[in-house]
Amino acid sequence: MSFHVCFVCTGNICRSPMAESVFRARIEEAGLESLVEVDSAGTGGWHEGDGADPRAVAVLEANGYGGAHTARQFHAEWFSRLDLVIALDSGHLRALRRLAPTPADADKVRLLRSYDPAATPDHDLDVPDPYYGDMDGFEECLEMVEAASDGLLAAVRDQVEGQAA
């Protein structure tokens, strides 16, 4: 049985596809691709069917990650098949917890940067939306995603190994 992680941002064309791509690479590097499924979605459906923002793709590919992606909207019924829902900012966190059908589903929602060992709870744990900015914002987004991905990988590995035991 796979452990399923879904990254969620606003339109699923910038932050969450970047997080999905980086985390998928971490899962593959760890040899967990047969045990962990990774995908992403947006809280809204404005960009459904579109690829990732070309700036996100450029930053991902320049750093050795895949850029293939098709945007989609998150749906409440997905909670039943997801083990962890990773919000990219506190607005997404609140929206997803409100959407959750049960308190147990709401407990599955976490902020990505809460897994970054350098980020402390008294800091802003949001990954800023780079959409309205320039390439620097996309590069900063990637840095934040990468910084949190190792901690997230450790947490997911613990869960997967706990399920196998």
**Tokens in use for 71?**
């945007």
Domain boundaries along the sequence of the chain: 3-164
Percentage, residues of the chain above pLDDT 90: 92
Active site residues: 9, 15, 129
CA angle 95, 8, 10 (to 5 degrees): 70
Q: What is the pLDDT of residues 91-128, one digit of tens each?
A: 999 999 999 999 999 999 999 999 999 887 777 899 99
Q: What is the 3-state secondary structure (H, E, C) of 133-147?
A: CCHHHHHHHHHHHHH
Q: Mean pLDDT across the stretch 124-138?
A: 96
Sign of torsion over alpha carbons 162, 32, 19, 121: positive
Kindly report whether the global pTM for this prediction surpasses the value 0.85. yes
Question: The domain 3-164 is classified under which CATH number: 3.40.50.300, 3.40.50.2300, 3.40.640.10, 3.40.50.1370?
Answer: 3.40.50.2300
